[in-house]
Amino acid sequence: MEERFDLIIIGAGPGGYVCAIKAAKLGLKTAVVEESRAGGTCLNRGCIPAKAMLHASGLYREIRQAERFGVKAEGVSFDFEKILAYKEETTDQLVQGVEQLLKGGGVTCLAGRGRLLPGRQVEVEKDGEKQVYQAEQVVLAAGSRPVILPIPGMDLPGVLTSDELFALREVPESLVIIGGGVISVEFATIYSSLGCKVTILEAMPRLVPNMDKEISQNLKMILKKRGVDIHTGAAVRSVEEAAGGLVCRFEEKEKEQSVSGQYVLCAVGRRPASEGLFGEGAVPDMERGRVLVDDRFATSIPGVYAIGDMIPGAQLAHAASAQGMVLAELLAGQEPSVDLAVVPGCVYTEPEIASAGLDEETAKGEGIPVRTGKFIMSANGKSLISKEERGFIKVVVHEETEEILGVQMMCGRATDMIGEFVSAIENHLTASQVLRAMRPHPTYNEGVAEALEELKGGAIHVMPRKKR
């Protein structure tokens, strides 16, 4: 038996490493087990590399369109190897930073594959050698892996997950993406900007189906304008080999159709990475592959907890980090410093998309009386300067109290501005209270005040509605 710890965390992703650092700061003797690099999917194969490629590909597209700003740029091209090097350099820097923070914070880093054993023991296996550690408390934070659809042909060469797409060293000539969620539309944005012919096949009636309907409609129009072919209500039946690539056969409006591509990306969601995580007699209660927990993240096994993509709920890096922070505080006997009730959602397309709280359709479905204030961002000075496409900010408030219940944003810097509304919703602020803050000009943030003013009787920079 090896060293004992107050807390052992299996997984050093956004949930695990934040939980570990916070727990160590609060005086718990803490260890984190990681078989790969710190940072998990987010830093290594998800959020950070995707956003780096979005930035590079967006810059390339913007330079090609620079003449509309009076700037001539001739012979513009890109070096994909250098884009990948920039992506990897960014990732490496952040991963190394997290590893230094863990060590500097007094967290013991155990390299290897972690497995939960009975009695709050954790087995760590590396290069065929196994060591067992004892803990007072164990946290499962092993993250997730891409889901592979159970349809014929998904095991063919050229059918990729997001992990494998990141490993390509050249831009595909054509790419068929199965799925129309956040991962799908971000990759469609990247590769269409770099000249790849992209087709999206989404089974639901619209793109990003969990977001506001108006966002979905605008996003579809923008992507189609950029050359992305989009099929919604499309059920993929099979993937087959063909000359020069693959063919996806799908059904749309009761009609059999097909589309070919050099590669096929399966982007239909993620599942908990629970393979090999549980030893005999140490399997917690689960449902549909996710670990069931109570409101304090406790599993059915005493002293064992789970957070992040392992449990039901939003599979988002910032949600996992917030859960890790709260759990560390609870285990140290402190009151949580973060309210987990409102989880912002972000999509890093151009323009950016962000939302929090309830949308109008959901609120009405729950019987909540609401009003909305919407401002079209084409009347915003900063949006005009940067020539943003089809943007708006829509605020949802309670009809009687004017308490802010939700917001949907599609505009420049939406992902940076959404925090203002998360704070407002968490603190039960009203439209009038949020309007009290002066906003600088010219900024995208002025659109927030305009949407709120629209609720109060009419935005300043919107023509008044004609009275009937």
**What value, to the nearest 5°, has the Cα angle with vertex 31 and ends 29 and 34?**
170
Helix/strand/coil percent split, the chain, to 5: 35, 30, 40
The pair of three-digit structure tokens given for residue 64, joined into one six-digit string: 């090609």
- Cβ atoms of 266 and 178 closer than 8 Å: yes
| Cα–Cα distances in angstroms (integers) from residue 208 to residues 39, 158, 395, in the given order | 26, 25, 19
Structure-token match 């050229």, residue found: 158
Question: From CA 445, how far away is CA 439, in angstroms rounded?
Answer: 7
Cis peptide before 172 (omega within 30 of 0): no
441 is catalytic: yes
Which of 231, 428, 441, 461 is an active site residue? 441
- Cβ atoms of 426 and 341 closer than 8 Å: yes
Question: From CA 184, how far away is CA 451, in angstroms rounded?
Answer: 29
Question: From CA 356, how far away is CA 359, in angstroms rounded?
Answer: 8
The pair of three-digit structure tokens given for residue 284, joined into one six-digit string: 């917690």
**Alpha-carbon torsion 242, 245, 250, 253, what sign?**
negative
Would you name the residues annotated as active-site residues?
441
